[in-house]
């Protein structure tokens, strides 16, 4: 009897979960958009792009977005050479959606190969913002929308289950509640576990080189 009821309920449970995962991915798209726009503003880059935003945003959503930006800025300012001219470091021209998609998928695969943390998710947004800046400076601002699409799909396919298991995006604010921009790098080093061992071999030498450098700063926030 119980088995029969469970079987009947399974489609409804799966549908509900899928709905939650889609919501998590949609939120990721919004957080990444906020991050990209903040990054462009800090870099004095004008994209002339218009993005569709929700008509109303909750205080919780705004708070989470600000926290992601805060942590991401700390990563960028601590290691500015890693988050500028990324495509040049990888020696690729951002000429098409295919190229952008390949770079993003390769980066995501290696970044999360040893597991998911909030720190690595923030690093994913920082990478997306860096690639977006490169797209604009290389005369392909329309590819920024493709970057956002890559983020949403990657979260939906690979990260949504983990994010839900943490209680949703709100957990990121709790995890990083004690981080403030005024803290020194020394404080940052003491606060987070430093671990560079999660990164393993990648099939692309240049991407591997970039990721090896990236992991040194991601390790600083792997306490997430």
Q: What is the dihedral of CA 117, 123, 127, 130, to 10 degrees?
A: 160
Cα separation, 142 vs 136, in Å, equals 8
More confident residue, 182 or 208: 208
Q: Is the pLDDT of residue 196 over 90?
A: no
| pLDDT computed for residue 140 by the predictor | 92
Question: 192 and 221 in contact (C-beta within 8 Å)?
Answer: yes
Closest among 69, 67, 61, 60 to 34, alpha carbons compared: 69
Question: 32 and 61 in contact (C-beta within 8 Å)?
Answer: no
Rg (CA), the chain: 18
The confidence band for 17, taking pLDDT boundaries of 50, 70 and 90, is: low
pLDDT tens per residue across span 21-47: 999 999 999 999 999 999 999 989 887
Residue 186 sits at φ, ψ, to 5 deg, of -60, -40
Please give the mean pLDDT across all residues of the chain: 78
| pLDDT computed for residue 175 by the predictor | 85
Question: What are the extents of the domains in the chain?
Answer: 1-183
More confident residue, 224 or 203: 224
Cα separation, 51 vs 34, in Å, equals 10
pTM here is 0.78
Q: Give the homologous superfamily in CATH for domain 1-183.
A: Blc2-like (1.10.437.10)
State both tokens at 9.
């309920």
| pLDDT computed for residue 4 by the predictor | 54
Residues in the chain: 224
Q: Is the pLDDT of residue 134 over 90?
A: yes
Question: 68 and 122 in contact (C-beta within 8 Å)?
Answer: yes
Q: Is the pLDDT of residue 131 over 90?
A: yes
pLDDT tens per residue across span 143-154: 999 999 999 999
């Amino acid at each position: 009897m119980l088995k029969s009821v469970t079987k009947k309920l399974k489609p409804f449970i799966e549908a509900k979960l899928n709905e939650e995962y889609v919501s998590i991915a949609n939120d990721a798209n919004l957080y990444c958009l906020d991050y990209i726009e903040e990054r462009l503003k800090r870099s004095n880059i004008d994209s002339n792009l218009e993005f569709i935003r929700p008509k109303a945003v909750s205080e919780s959503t705004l708070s989470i977005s600000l926290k992601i930006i805060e942590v991401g800025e700390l990563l960028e300012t601590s290691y500015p050479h890693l988050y500028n001219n990324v495509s040049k470091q990888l020696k690729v021209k951002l000429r098409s959606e295919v190229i952008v998609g390949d770079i993003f998928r390769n980066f995501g695969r290696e970044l999360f190969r040893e597991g998911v943390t909030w720190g690595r998710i923030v690093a994913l947004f920082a990478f997306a913002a860096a690639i977006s800046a490169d797209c604009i400076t290389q005369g392909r601002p329309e590819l920024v929308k493709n970057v956002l699409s890559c983020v949403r799909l990657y979260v939906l396919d690979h990260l949504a289950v983990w994010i839900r298991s943490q209680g949703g995006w709100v957990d990121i604010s709790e995890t990083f509640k004690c981080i403030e921009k005024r803290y020194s790098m020394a404080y940052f080093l003491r606060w987070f576990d430093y671990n560079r061992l999660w990164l393993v071999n990648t099939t692309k030498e240049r991407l591997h080189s970039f990721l090896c450098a990236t992991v040194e700063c991601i390790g600083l926030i792997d306490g997430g």
